[in-house]
Amino acid sequence: MKDIVDRFISYTEVYTTSDPESDTTPTSERQKDLGKILVEELHEMGIENAFMDDKAYVYAGLDSNTDKDISPIGFISHMDTAPDMTGEGVNPQIIEYKGGDIVLSDSVVTRVEDFPFLKDLEGQTLITTDGSTLLGADDKAGIAIIMTAVEYLIENPQIKHGDIKIAFTPDEEVGKGAHLFDIDRFGADFAYTVDGGPEGELEYESFNAAEADIKIHGKSVHPGSAKDVMINSQLLGMELFSMLPVNQRPEYTENYEGFFMLMNFTGTVEETSMNFIIRDHDREKFEAKKNLLEEIVKFLNTKYGDLIDLEISDTYYNMREKIEPVYEIVELAKRSMEEIGVEPIISPIRGGTDGSILSFRGLPTPNLFTGGYAYHGKHELVSVDQMKKGVNLLAKIIENHAK
């Protein structure tokens, strides 16, 4: 069986960053490069039905090896990496971590003071970046876990199971990973995304999410004759931002607390663009946040004369609403964790996964851990020990489901 470290590193070396500015699917053609590799690898395992469609969705299935009537179960991870930092030219480093700060390069150090979770990783084998890129554990660790678990089941036919469905998606990091996912073709009754963080994470709640695009139209004139004429669109943007509650910024929130996050602010005197993401686990509070932004824009338009255009679009909703009616799939994962010696950590996702949208589209999909930490930046790392436990967890879930 292929070593999970070799498998993971080979995936990180493929440049798959998604493009938030693109309207195509996939948003970057380079994601297909990894899709082709995964299809070929699945074929080599003997899963001949593996294929990638023209939108870069990879689908495959391991057939049942028992006569028992067992509902099909699915596992999903995403191939793209976040555009927050470059994912090109990733150079993973393997370390046997004994504690203390981790020197990634001459100028980049992952310090325990900044990342206290390092204290929990002493004695584990870690894979880090070289300080110049992100790692891609989000979610290539998930892909490696699924691929290794499937290969393990193929090589151990004494473990009885029903049909197992596998899928790898593009564009999760830009919020488009599940929109064109073919649930009927996938063929599972329920699934798990393998897209979480530290060992034990089991999540079935996500944010409700929206995006707000704002265009502000100013009036540019020569500053020497600007009195009572100039309207600086940048200053209107600053005024708008100052009217949002400070304590509802992401850097001041945790647990179930929602936020407004200013993602982009660019402009001139004449034209300014702002982009926000809006998040809250509670649907009523989520709607109240959107209403607040609308009221602020309405107030400023009254004050300055209809200079601001606002467009709010919902991205995904809290999947708890769809998973609670089938909570036994959460219990299945929880019990399986306990049986392999992993303490379940059931907590809300302060974000979203493909499972958020898939659950609302009719495929209940909680989220499982991968062993990754500090996603989306140069300090990203993954624990090999925890990835291996992820493989054990998938095998145990499949085994328990067959019972």
Q: Would you call 95 helix, strand, or coil by DSSP?
A: strand
139, 151, 171, 172: the active-site residue? 172
Question: Catalytic site residue 80?
Answer: yes
Residue in this structure with the two tokens 């004050």, named with its chain if needed: 303
Show Cβ contacts of residue 345 under 8 Å, excluding neighbours closer than 6 positions. 198, 200, 201, 202
19, 41, 80, 280: the active-site residue? 80
- Which DSSP string corresponds to 28-44? STTHHHHHHHHHHHHHH
Q: Report which secondary-structure segment, H or E, holds 203.
A: strand 201-203
Residue in this structure with the two tokens 């009616």, named with its chain if needed: 325
- List phi, psi (to 5°) of 239: -65, -45
- Which DSSP string corresponds to 161-200? ---EEEEEES-GGGT-SSTT--HHHH--SEEEEE---STT
Based on its alpha-carbon atoms, the radius of gyration of the chain, rounded to whole angstroms, reads 23
Question: Catalytic site residue 354?
Answer: no
Show Cβ contacts of residue 123 under 8 Å, excluding neighbours closer than 6 positions. 97, 98
Q: Which residues are catalytic?
A: 80, 172
